[in-house]
Amino acid sequence: MELRVNSDNLVEISDLHFSYGERVILDGVDIAIPRGRVVAVMGSSGCGKSTLLHLIGGQLQPQAGRVVVDGQTVHELGNDDLYRLRRKMGMMFQESGLFSDLTVFENIAFPMREHTDLPEPMIRDLVLMKLHAVGLRGAHGLQTGELSGGMSRRVALARAIALDPMLIMYDEPFAGLDPISLNVIANIIRRLNDALGVTTIMVTYDVAESLKVADYCYFLNDGKVVAHGSTQEIIASEHPFVRQFIDGEADGPVRFHYPASQIVQEFRLG
């Protein structure tokens, strides 16, 4: 059967299923990521947000369904084709993922040296341009251990755009940041997306910052997309899960207790 792909979407995920053993993570997920937009995928910890990024990048393969990026079905690609597709993707990892024994400059230069034949003088200029874009050109000679948490995220972001990708993915970009660093990262994500004309996917549980920068939002719960819409639609939504998430309510569709048997079956009461 011929796969119909909307050319306006850079990423199309359809009826996606993925499990770790018997534990279902994604259960029939459908997501479309339009070109040039910032799309936030939100949900509580453990709902499958990071797994979704691994499936888009081809690190994992689904049990069923399709992940299509730029017209190519990711999990059907051979190693060489997958390698070429990944060169068009940038990734900012949850813990930054910087090389601890390299300087800031060398961290940004690494993917350029690994994937291109550019001469060193050009690599130098490009590295400084990428660092300038995130406000850290003056920090190029620092060791990663000398960086604050917010600076580490910005260096990781500069490395994510090192090869001018068509798609940038962020795994919890706001986690653990102070309010100032958090706001800086959010503004950089939005500014770079618009200036470079890239497509952005953010997986996060930080609703307030995500709604400031995202064009469209998806909410995951129990392995399914439970709500989605434009930022304005999400803010106005009365969906119980969305409202619990936005308002930070303790009671709602997201359960406090992990599924377990009745307490009387585990304790001898009375």
CA atoms within 13 A on the CB side of 128: 7
Residue 10's pLDDT is 96
Q: What values do phi and psi take at 230, rounded to 5?
A: -65, 165
Residue 1's pLDDT is 33
Residue 268's pLDDT is 61
Provide, for the chain, the percentages of residues in helix, strand and coil under a 3-state DSSP scheme, each rounded to the nearest 5. 40, 25, 35
Joined tokens for residue 232: 């304005």
Residue 30 has pLDDT above 80, yes or no: yes
- As a whole number of angstroms, the distance between CA 253 and CA 57 comes to 30
Confidence of residue 2 (pLDDT cuts 50, 70, 90): very low
pLDDT, mean of residues 116-129? 94
Residue 258's pLDDT is 59
- As a whole number of angstroms, the distance between CA 5 and CA 94 comes to 30
pLDDT tens digits, one per residue of 38-88? 999 998 777 888 899 999 999 999 999 999 999 999 999 999 999 899 989
pLDDT tens digits, one per residue of 204-219? 888 888 888 999 999 9
Identity (one letter) of the amino acid at 164? D
Where do runs of H (alpha helix) occur along 175-253? 179-196, 207-213, 231-236, 240-247
The β-bridge relationship of strands 167-171 and 199-204 is: parallel
pTM: 0.85
Residue 249 has pLDDT above 60, yes or no: yes
